[in-house]
Amino acid sequence: MAVSPDGGPVLALAGEWQLGRPRPAVSQLAWPEEAQRLRLDCQALRQWDSSILLYLRPLWEECQRRGIAIDLDGLPPGLRRLLVLATAVAAPLERDDLTEDGFVGRVGESSRQVLVAVLRVCSFVGELCVAVLKLLVGRARMRLCDLITESAKAGYQALFIVSLIGYLIGLILAFIGAIPLKWFGAQIYTASLIGIGMLRLMAAVMVGVVMAGRTAASFAAELGTMQTNEEIDALRCMGVPPMEFLVLPRFLAMTLMMPLLCVYGDILSLAGGLTVGVFYLGFGTVEFWEQLVLTTRLEDLYVGVFTSWIFGMLLGICGCYQGMNCGRDSAAVGRATTAAVVSSIVCMVIATALITVLTVLWKI
Amino acid sequence: MAENTTSDRNSPPPPIEVRDLTMAYDERVIIRDMNFVVPAGEIFIVMGGSGCGKSTLLRHLIGLMAPAQGWVFRDGVDFWALSGAEQDRMKRRSGILFQGGALWSAMTLAENIALPLREFTRYREKEIREICELKLSLVGLAGFGDYYPAAISGGMRKRASLARAMALDPEVLFFDEPSAGLDPVSARRLDELILALRESLGATVVVITHDLASIFAIGGMAIFLDSGSKSIAARGRPQELLDQGSNPALLDFLTRGERHTRLPAARADGSSKV
Ligand SMILES: Nc1ncnc2c1ncn2[C@@H]1O[C@H](COP(=O)(O)OP(=O)(O)O)[C@@H](O)[C@H]1O
Ligand SMILES: [Mg+2]
């Protein structure tokens, strides 16, 4: 491509340059020895778009590297301006490279981050405890109306989905449970299965998962958006502690509503089991019910309600923590929401394991 | 340190004094060794390019962020030496208009203004309603009390936010980029509103801005933050600063970098015309 009429090399750009078409590579150019100045000739250039810039920019860089001056006068004025813009060097952004390279450095950095996160969670829970204590002595800046609205959101507005899922899970568990029990002719124990399984654990877990996706996520999104919009700063700099004003009502609403929802889920899932018992297995309603009452103890109900009370606290903490520690852009709100749901579910599973082991060990 | 810091013990201490303040996020220093005094009843401008640390300075002045080094004195008292409750009381004496308005989106405008009144005063409900209506009409939003922030325009939101900032009759008003994101007419109206309110309320006003029109319209003492040198690069009245023209970064800022936009082009094609 390089020809020389009067000593210096000239690069002729010709024809149509369009994105999507093949484009020559700068590396294929044969550079003449001792070139000082490269002229560009665009006489035969017809149509061009960004494609030609994709060629000219590496060319420019190559010239810089070889110490050759590049003469842009031959370019159409518009193209020349674009090239000047494209090759302007941005002022380097100052970055703080605290992370050391290498394995040890990375391990150190990530353990530091984990430690910071743990400390943050601890201080969050600590502050929440202080807020609850303040509430008990009647000095928390929490509005009753906030508690009521949040309770409504975390409570009766979730009734429909809890009804649906509770009833269906009861139904499914009874169907599946009846299969092996039939082998032994012990279908009547389906009632016990439903009673113990649902009351003790399943209803609490089911309500917990529904509420993690529904309410913990919405806490994180709400508080995260408030963080992004500086609404939380606005509270803080009026001397209204966001922990009492925003987190406390949400936490309390969850803690109060979850056990109630769990009892409601219990009732619906028993109804689901009863449906299967009566219409599929062919028992009488009274018969099924008596078997259920006979084999299920009140303690099973208590364990389930206790579990869901713990779940309520966990969900409140996870949702609000993620929201309050959200970054300041909208992508951060998305991350906070995801993190709220994931951490809620992980916490609930761990709590369930602990509670199950402890209650079995203590023979409750 | 919690002592009167002005040299003249007879005059009241300035509402804000910053001494040897270094601001940093973790290890990353934003601006170091700042010193300035905001005199009572005056307008004070903090100017500088985007990302140079203006909002960060605001967060220090209103007590949302603790200094990495140095002191922030409010009314001659070291803010960070105060107890939590005293800090809260101090915070309530300033009103803040945040960059994005920061109205509480779950509440109507009237509730936004009423919240600080309900929390921190013992006014009766009827009185609170009257105050809300008054503050809203001061900023030209009479009758908008029942609207939610999402339902009004950006300029109205800023003004409503100003009404909320004035709810507790603060002694110092802070504005973070009041004209950002507004059309020129709304921006000018907001500037005029700021000036009018300052004159009639006698409050001290700190305006943070990178809007040249606002800077020259508002006047007042100004400091210029420069992210290159990480310091206060210049101080004085904007017009005088422009006329004296000592600092190149400041001149670029005040003249919209006229000298510089042509430079790379000129260098590239060897002629100064593009
Ligand atoms: N929370 C934060 N953590 C770390 N760096 C931040 C944070 N907030 C702002 N910064 C950085 O501090 C600098 C100053 O930001 P800011 O004060 O918002 O600038 P502006 O003058 O535009 O208001 C920016 O470079 C920004 O990247
Ligand atoms: Mg800012």
Percent of chain A with pLDDT over 70: 95
Q: Give the distance from residue B88's alpha carbon to the nearest chain A alpha carbon, in angstroms.
A: 5
pLDDT-derived band at B265 (thresholds 50, 70, 90) equals: very low
DSSP letters, A176-237, are HHHHHHHHTT-GGGHHHHHHHHIIIIIHHHHHHHHHIIIIIHHHHHHHHHHHHTTHHHHHHT
Residue-level pLDDT at B4: 46
Residue ranges in chain B assigned as alpha helix (H): 54-61, 84-91, 109-120, 125-138, 154-165, 184-201, 212-218, 238-244, 248-254, 258-261, 263-269
B32–chain A Cβ distance below 8 A for any pair: no
pLDDT-derived band at B49 (thresholds 50, 70, 90) equals: confident
Given an 8 Å threshold on Cβ–Cβ distance, is A239 in contact with B88? yes
Average model confidence (pLDDT) across chain B: 85
Name residue B78's beta-bridge partners.
B73
pLDDT higher than threshold 90 for residue B231: no
CA atoms lying within 13 Å on the CB side of residue B266: 7
State the complex-level ipTM: 0.83
Predicted structure pTM score: 0.81
Residue-level pLDDT at A99: 53
Average pLDDT on A37-42 reads 84
Q: Where in chain A is the domain with CATH 3.30.750?
A: 2-87
pLDDT higher than threshold 70 for residue B9: no
Residue-level pLDDT at A35: 76
pLDDT higher than threshold 60 for residue A325: yes
Q: Which of B56, B97, B208, B226 to mutate to test the pocket of ligand 1 (most atoms within 8 A of CB)?
A: B56
Given an 8 Å threshold on Cβ–Cβ distance, is A238 in contact with B91? yes
**What is the atom index within ligand 1 of the atom nearest the CA of B25?**
4
Residue to substitute from B32, B86, B115, B272, interface A, most A β-carbons within 10 A: B115
CB count in 10 Å sphere of residue B13: 19
Kindly give the distance from the C-alpha atom of residue B182 to the centroid of ligand 1, in angstroms, as a whole number: 22
Residue-level pLDDT at A22: 84
Q: Whose CA is nearest to atom 7 of ligand 1?
A: B25
Given an 8 Å threshold on Cβ–Cβ distance, is B274 in contact with A81? yes
Q: Which of A88, A94, A233 sits opposite B264 (nearest CB)?
A: A88
Q: Give the distance from residue B10's alpha carbon to the nearest chain A alpha carbon, in angstroms.
A: 30
Phi and psi, residue B97, nearest 5°: -105, 110
Q: Which of A116, A325, A328 to mutate to test the pocket of ligand 1 (most atoms within 8 A of CB)?
A: A328
pLDDT-derived band at A109 (thresholds 50, 70, 90) equals: confident
Q: Give the distance from residue A229's alpha carbon to the nearest chain B alpha carbon, in angstroms.
A: 5
Which of A42-51, A270-279, B97-106 holds the top average pLDDT?
A: A270-279
Give the residue with greater pLDDT, A106 vs B258: A106
* Cα–Cα distance list, A132 to A127, A139, A194, A243 (Å): 9, 10, 37, 10
pLDDT-derived band at A124 (thresholds 50, 70, 90) equals: very high
Q: For residue B63, which residues of chain A lie inside 8 Å, CB to CB?
A: 237
**Can you name the CATH fold of A2-87?**
Transcription Regulator spoIIAA (3.30.750)
Q: Read off the pLDDT of residues B154-197 as tens digits, 9 standing for 90 and up.
A: 888 988 999 999 888 889 999 998 888 888 888 888 888 888 88
Least confident of A168-182, A331-345, B14-28, B187-201: B187-201
Instruction: Kindly provide the b/e burial profile for residues A164-183, where b requires at least 16 CB atoms within 10 angstroms of the residue's own CB.
Output: ebbbebbbebbbebbeebee
A230–chain B Cβ distance below 8 A for any pair: yes
Q: Read off the pLDDT of residues B58-91 as tens digits, 9 standing for 90 and up.
A: 999 999 999 999 999 999 999 999 988 899 888 8
Which residues are close to ligand 2, an ion, with C-beta < 5 A?
A: B 55
B87–chain A Cβ distance below 8 A for any pair: yes
Reading phi first (left if > 0) and then psi (alpha if -120 to 50, else beta), residue B124 is in beta
